[in-house]
Amino acid sequence: MTIVEFGKASRRQGHEAFVLKLPLQMTILVTVLGPVNTNVAAFSQRDLQAKIEYCKTCHGLYGQGFRGSVPMPRLAGQQTEYLENQLRAFVERRRESRFMLNVANALSPAMPAALAAHFADLNPKPLGGAPKELEAAGKKLYEEGVPEAEIKPCANCHGPDAKGKGASPRLAGQLYDYTLKTMVNWSKERGLDRTKPDKSVIMEPIVQNLTEAQISALAAYLSGLE
């Protein structure tokens, strides 16, 4: 059997150098975590599909999200860099979720990149269901910010179409219930490890200066965007 040899493991993970010997028919994926460090892992397409099917049980058949007793976020169309970072955040306890901690911990180092790429290519219709009467106020907040509270327009980071870029997440089509819950509880769920800040730290002063009514309006506007 032909063997493929791979070199060093990521120093970020604190591993010693090692060699993986893997059959060629397996899919080899490399996730670059920085300019120098890399994680090398392998899995089959069957492994990847199994993980995708598992994600669907909570996030919907097309990653569109699910509105239940606990709202599950839309993953479809999400920025890959953002999604990979959030999966690492669960593992590193920078982000709190009683659902996602064990799920993220079970992923091989390369799997988050493959999952993120899969969901980034999906684009189902938004679920809707937000209060329509709040959308106009939400649009104004998104495009103009709140100058008197020194809050800049959301579009500055998330784009005029709210589809995000890189580490700034897509907000378009996100469930109203999920956006509202997440922003109201931001300081309890995000940025929990102050020694490992990520781009989400930008949001903390913003959510603290927005009223719940303003957050609700933003969530309503964003939920209907495609």
DSSP string, the chain: --EEEE-PPPGGGTPPP--EEEETTSEEEEEE-SSS-EEEEEE-HHHHHHHHHHHHHHH-TTS--B-SSSPBPP-TT--HHHHHHHHHHHHTTSS--TTHHHHHHTS-TTHHHHHHHHHHT--PPP---S-GGGHHHHHHHHHH-BGGGTB--THHHH-TTS--BTTBPP-TT--HHHHHHHHHTHHHHS---TTS--GGGGHHHHHHHS-HHHHHHHHHHHHT--
Is the backbone of residue 129 left (phi > 0), alpha (psi -120 to 50) or beta?
Answer: left
> Is the pLDDT reported for residue 209 higher than 90?
yes
Write the pLDDT tens digit of every residue in 19-74.
Answer: 333 333 333 333 333 333 344 457 889 999 999 999 999 999 999 999 988 999 99
Token pair 């209907």 is found at 224
Domain 3-120, architecture per CATH:
Orthogonal Bundle (1.10)
* Spatial contact of 172 and 180, defined as CB atoms under 8 Å apart: no
Length of the chain: 226
Chain region(s) in the chain for CATH 1.10.760.10: 3-120, 132-223
The pLDDT of residue 108 is 93
Write the pLDDT tens digit of every residue in 119-150.
Answer: 999 999 999 999 999 999 999 999 999 999 99
> Is the pLDDT reported for residue 14 higher than 90?
no
CATH of the domain spanning 132-223, picked from 1.10.760.10, 1.10.420.10, 3.10.20.740, 1.10.246.90: 1.10.760.10
Strand partners, 72: 66
> Is the pLDDT reported for residue 206 higher than 80?
yes
User: pTM for this one?
Assistant: 0.79
Overall average pLDDT of the 176-189 stretch: 95
Strands 38-43 and 3-6, sheet pairing: unpaired
The pLDDT of residue 193 is 84
The pLDDT of residue 192 is 85
Write the pLDDT tens digit of every residue in 71-109.
Answer: 999 999 999 999 999 999 999 999 999 899 999 999 999
* 32 Cβ contact partners less than 8 Å away, ≥ 6 residues apart: 38
> Is the pLDDT reported for residue 3 higher than 80?
no
**Which amino acid is it at 52?**
I
> Is the pLDDT reported for residue 157 higher than 80?
yes
Q: What is the C-alpha to C-alpha distance for residues 170 and 160, in angstroms, rounded to an integer?
A: 11
The pLDDT of residue 41 is 52
